[in-house]
Amino acid sequence: MKVDAKTEIYGLIGYPVKHTYSPPMHNAAFNGLGINAVYLPFEVKPENLKDMLSYAKAVGVRGLNVTIPHKENVLRFLDEIDTEASLIKAVNTIVNKNGAFIGYNTDGKGFVSSLKEDFGMTPKGKNFFILGAGGASRAISFSLALSGAARIVLVDAIREKAIKLARSLARNTSCEAIALKREGRTMKEMILNSHVLVNATPCGMKPRDPRVIDPALLHEGLYVTDVIYNPGMTRLLKDAKKRGARVSNGSGMLLHQGVIAFKLWTGKKAPAKAMRKALDKLLK
């Protein structure tokens, strides 16, 4: 990679960011298309977020990804926010458009694209059961609803979060949205009548994490996906596979949210195969 005075700068802001897989993925894309650009990780403490964005704008950074813990706080420092990002109330991608920083959220759209790639499925008319009602769930839920999902059922350890998200979905989209308690017969019935079950929580990243759901509730014919991509086979996915369900992890969502961000930044179609190759190398 040659870096000179004409090299454009892109990057990721978060705290911490040492674990990120995004730089190799995006740098592979720039190299694949012969674009003179570099993608760098920037570790930014919450109290320094405003100053970082001012600096990035001053030096002409062309685009940024945003990760934990800045996805929500960054909204107040942007010049404009895309409609879907406004509904989600979180931004994961910033585009520098003629000196103005515009915020987008590509996480949910990346999930929708991964559904098509992994399962050959589109959300239209489908029923989804989602574990978790945090940031990842909010992005996924709104993108599914805006893509024509028929019903979204939400379950969270803090039920108030699920209720709040369900109300927001019902108010802003035409999708049926339901918040359920974790226990009970209704939960079993809802899973039985769902096409896809999604784990949108971080539970499963560590070997000692508890099960996110009773394996007996999983069934053949169900599609089960986990937003976690490391490890590649979480306890949930292992349980689901044993029960005859089709499974996929979060690597597709990670890839496709990056593909969409790349297009927003450059106006060019991202070389998804090169990005996938770089990502798979890291995950192995």
Please tell me the predicted confidence (pLDDT) of residue 184. 65
DSSP string, the chain: ----TT-EEEEEEESS-TT--HHHHHHHHHHHHT--EEEEEEE--GGGHHHHHHHHHHTT--EEEE-TTSTTGGGGG-SEE-HHHHHHT--SEEEEETTEEEEE--HHHHHHHHHHHHHS---TT-EEEEE--SHHHHHHHHHHHHTT-SEEEEE-SSHHHHHHHHHHHHHHSSSEEEEE-SSSHHHHHHHHT-SEEEE-SSTTSSTTPPPSS-GGG--TT-EEEES--SSSS-HHHHHHHHTT-EEE-THHHHHHHHHHHHHHHHSS---HHHHHHHHHHHH-
Please tell me the predicted confidence (pLDDT) of residue 186. 85
Please tell me the predicted confidence (pLDDT) of residue 23. 96
Tell me the pLDDT of the chain (284 aa) as tens digits: 788 889 999 999 999 999 899 999 999 999 999 999 999 999 999 999 999 999 999 999 999 999 999 999 999 999 999 999 999 999 999 999 999 999 999 999 999 999 999 999 999 999 999 999 999 999 999 999 999 999 999 999 999 999 999 999 999 999 999 999 876 678 889 999 999 999 999 999 998 999 999 999 999 999 999 999 999 999 999 999 999 999 999 999 999 999 999 999 999 999 999 999 999 999 87
- Angle at Cα 14 formed by Cα 9 and Cα 18, nearest 5°? 90
Question: Is 161 annotated as catalytic?
Answer: no
Give the pairing of strands 127-131 and 151-155.
parallel
Is 94 in a helix, a strand, or coil?
Answer: strand
Classify burial at 6, counting beta carbons within 10 Å of its beta carbon; exposed 0-12, middle 13-18, buried 19 or more: exposed
**Can 8-105+253-283 and 108-249 be said to share one CATH topology?**
yes
Q: Which fold has domain 108-249?
A: Rossmann fold (3.40.50)
Which residue of the set 50, 71, 109, 116 is catalytic? 71
pTM as predicted: 0.93
Please tell me the number of Cα atoms within 13 Å of 57 on its side-chain side: 17
CATH superfamily of 8-105+253-283: Leucine Dehydrogenase, chain A, domain 1 (3.40.50.10860)
Please tell me the predicted confidence (pLDDT) of residue 260. 98
128 neighbors 153 (Cβ within 8 angstroms): yes
Domain residue spans in the chain? 8-105+253-283, 108-249
